[in-house]
Structures are given as C-alpha cells and as structure tokens.
C-alpha cells in the first residue's frame, strides 16, 4: 500500500492553486476586481509563509510565523464569505469545498500554534 505522509506544505500549495481558480472566476466588476486583488495576495501568503515557518530559528519565531499563516487564512475565509453572500460566483455551492478546506487549514494551524505555545510553556517550567 502506497501511504503518503501528510504534508502541510503540499496542502497549502494545493490550496493556493484552488484559490487561484476562485479569483479567476470572479466577475470583472469593480467589486470583483477589488476582491480578486486582495484575495490573490492573501491566498498565496499561507504557502509562502509556511516555507519560512519550516526555517524558523526558534520556537518563538515558529509561533510568530504560524500566526502570520493563520491571519492570512482567516482573511481568505472572510473574502470567501463575502463572495458567497454576494453570490459573486454562481452557483455558490461550487465554493463549499474550498470554504471547508479553509476552515480545516485554520483549525490545523491554530492547533499547531496552541501546541507550540504549550510546549514552550513546558520548557520554561
């Protein structure tokens, strides 16, 4: 059986590629262009910053960089909520999967930060 190890970097790269499709599907209106511009930056950031996370120089540096990843994922989630609420992409059900992936990535990164903080506290005592 070919069992593949979970790789957050690969998952974040896949996420960016899927989000590019969302950006490209937005309408060429003032609103669509604005959200597209904002979203194209925020959706790339988690993958790029996770590359920096992997080279963190300390636990504090790791936590800080992971918080940046989390912040950008949350920005993507808000953008997706706006796109869904305004029905900028139809049918909005096409966004269910990417919205769920955003939620899952937020949960994974938040848990990683929580664990790193817990380990840091344990080291200090």
pLDDT of the residue at 77: 98
Q: Which residue has the higher pLDDT, 1 or 20?
A: 20
Q: How far apart are CA 85 and CA 62, in angstroms?
A: 35
pLDDT of the residue at 2: 46
Report residue 62 as tokens. Answer: 């790791």
pLDDT band of residue 125 (cuts 50, 70, 90) is low
Q: How far apart are CA 15 and CA 119, in angstroms?
A: 28
Decide if pLDDT at 124 tops 50. Answer: yes
The domain limits of the chain are: 8-118
pLDDT of the residue at 66: 98
Decide if pLDDT at 1 tops 50. Answer: no
Q: How far apart are CA 7 and CA 101, in angstroms?
A: 14
Of all residues in the chain, what percent carry a pLDDT higher than 70?
A: 94
Q: How far apart are CA 54 and CA 52, in angstroms?
A: 5
To the question of domain 8-118 being in CATH 1.20.1440.60, the answer is yes
| CA distance to 8, 11, 12, 124, per residue, from 3 (Å) | 16, 16, 19, 37
Report residue 97 as tokens. Answer: 């999967």
């Amino acid at each position: 059986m070919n069992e593949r190890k979970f790789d957050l970097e690969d998952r974040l790269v896949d996420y960016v590629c899927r989000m590019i499709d969302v950006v490209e599907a937005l309408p060429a209106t003032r609103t669509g262009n604005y959200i597209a511009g904002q979203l194209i930056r925020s959706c790339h950031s988690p993958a790029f910053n996770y590359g920096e996370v992997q080279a963190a120089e300390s636990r504090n540096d790791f936590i800080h960089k992971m918080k940046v990843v989390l912040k950008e994922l949350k920005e993507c989630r808000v953008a997706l909520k706006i796109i869904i609420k305004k029905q900028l992409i139809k049918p909005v059900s096409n966004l269910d999967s990417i919205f769920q992936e955003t939620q899952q990535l937020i949960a994974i990164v938040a848990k990683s930060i929580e664990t790193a903080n817990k380990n840091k506290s344990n080291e200090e005592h």
